[in-house]
Amino acid sequence: MELKRVVVTGMGAITPIGNDVETAWENAKKGVSGAGPITHFDASKFKTQFACEVKNFDGNALFDRKKVRQLDLYAQYALAAARQAVEDSKIEEDPNVNRDRIGVIVAAGIGGLHTFEEEAGYYALNEDKGPKYNPFFIPKMIADIASGHISMEYGYHGPNFGTVSACASSNNAIIDAFNLIRLGKADAIVTGGAEAAIFPAGVGGFNSMHALSTRNDSPTTASRPFSKSRDGFVMGEGSVVLVLEELEHALARGAKIYAEVAGGGLSADAYHLTATHPEGLGAILAMRNALEDANMKPEDIDYINVHGTSTPVGDVSEIKAIVEVFGEHAYDLNISSTKSMTGHLLGATGALEAMFSVKAVQDNIIPPTINHEEGDDDENIDYRLNFTFNRAQERPVRAALSNSFGFGGHNATVIVKKFEK
């Protein structure tokens, strides 16, 4: 059986550095930080009091009152990004659209955390009154529900589910969508991820693990991947949604094509609950599997959007893995961590970084890794590599590889490349 080719025909974004694709991309190229004091709740008693929040988002302006009551914030972000992506793709304008063959696979690493907080918190404070739960509690909280809402909005009857692999979730979603389309199980799939965990349980939980930066005096410089002074990740939120489509289906309706999805690779560290393998063994496997799946050589990749969370262990192990997989070519390609600007969107981060990878391929520009200062070098990191520090760089980008690694040892790598007929 000959596998079908899969292309990206639509994108939508609600992010800490812009609430549409072009704004987010322009800010990424400029090196704009999305970090600032937390506004979703009073964080004054928390070790970390800042995050990369979405700005100027009003669900009440996008959804009617009845709909808003059914949606946790993460699902609001997902539905808003999906509307942008579907509109961008113009697939709804096709008079021959077959909604039975369009699916939705949108991931979340956690799901409706704030909804859970509110409902469980109310019961804890009012236990003597007996249980009193909102009937929307469960359907607002569960991590698959964004896919359900998107399918209901458009009447898409194709494959529909969510994927959960912590911070690798939306790369898993993209790979599942890619595989289903190239196997002929769908003509198009709306895919990506969403997350909204900047609430007490999210910040407090990650703080208790010492996973978050506590650089409260300078939020915009706190996410500093590959710098010696890094002290943890900065939490982000939002949603990015892509429309993946079978090539011949896209060409037949005259769709614009951003890039081609070339391959995906999956693996497990099988090592630790939260830490990456110190030698990057799972990351090595995922990248090699993705290259093999794409029928590409390491030398075919010009840009790696790294997982690069700004944690002491993770940054080092990912670089070891890159050098192991790419050899001498590692010193010829560009590497950057856009989390230095957006923070870590958890279950949505793979989709955001896939979008940046698509734009890098399209525009031949590498977004920077910001916040590195001269002399702030880690002796365990090889600075002969080009980390694209502090300023975007123009160069030909034939193909880009994007890594996402999640708690539990989940690793997922996506490769996109320039589309050629």
Please report which confidence band the pLDDT of residue 1 belongs to, taking 50, 70 and 90 as the band edges: confident
Q: Residue 110, Cβ neighbours under 10 Å: how many?
A: 21
Question: Whose CA is closest to 179, among 110, 103, 97, 82?
Answer: 103
- Is 329 part of the annotated catalytic residue set? no
What percent of the chain is modeled with pLDDT above 70? Answer: 100
Please report which confidence band the pLDDT of residue 325 belongs to, taking 50, 70 and 90 as the band edges: very high
Q: For residue 141, give both structure tokens.
A: 């909280």
Please report which confidence band the pLDDT of residue 123 belongs to, taking 50, 70 and 90 as the band edges: very high
Taking residues 127-148, report their average pLDDT: 96
Residue type, 334: N
Taking residues 152-164, report their average pLDDT: 98
Please report which confidence band the pLDDT of residue 189 belongs to, taking 50, 70 and 90 as the band edges: very high
Domain ranges of the chain: 6-417
Say what the pLDDT of residue 421 is.
Answer: 87
Q: Is 7 helix (H, G, I), strand (E, B) or coil?
A: strand
Say whether pTM exceeds 0.85. yes
Q: Which of 40, 114, 277, 307 is catalytic?
A: 307
For residues 318 and 330, is the Cβ–Cβ distance under 8 A? no
For residues 173 and 349, is the Cβ–Cβ distance under 8 A? no
Taking residues 355-376, report their average pLDDT: 98
* Euclidean distance between CA atoms 386 and 378, whole angstroms: 15
Taking residues 270-295, report their average pLDDT: 96
Q: Which fold has domain 6-417?
A: Peroxisomal Thiolase; Chain A, domain 1 (3.40.47)
Q: Which of 114, 249, 344, 410 is catalytic?
A: 344
Q: Which of 167, 249, 277, 410 is catalytic?
A: 167
Say what the pLDDT of residue 244 is.
Answer: 98
- Reported as type and span, the H/E element at residue 241 is strand 238-246
Taking residues 49-76, report their average pLDDT: 97
Say what the pLDDT of residue 138 is.
Answer: 97
Taking residues 379-393, report their average pLDDT: 97
Taking residues 333-337, report their average pLDDT: 98
Phi-psi region of 232 (alpha: psi -120 to 50; beta: other; left: phi over 0): left
- Is 167 part of the annotated catalytic residue set? yes
Considering the chain, what is the average pLDDT of its residues?
A: 97
- Is 344 part of the annotated catalytic residue set? yes
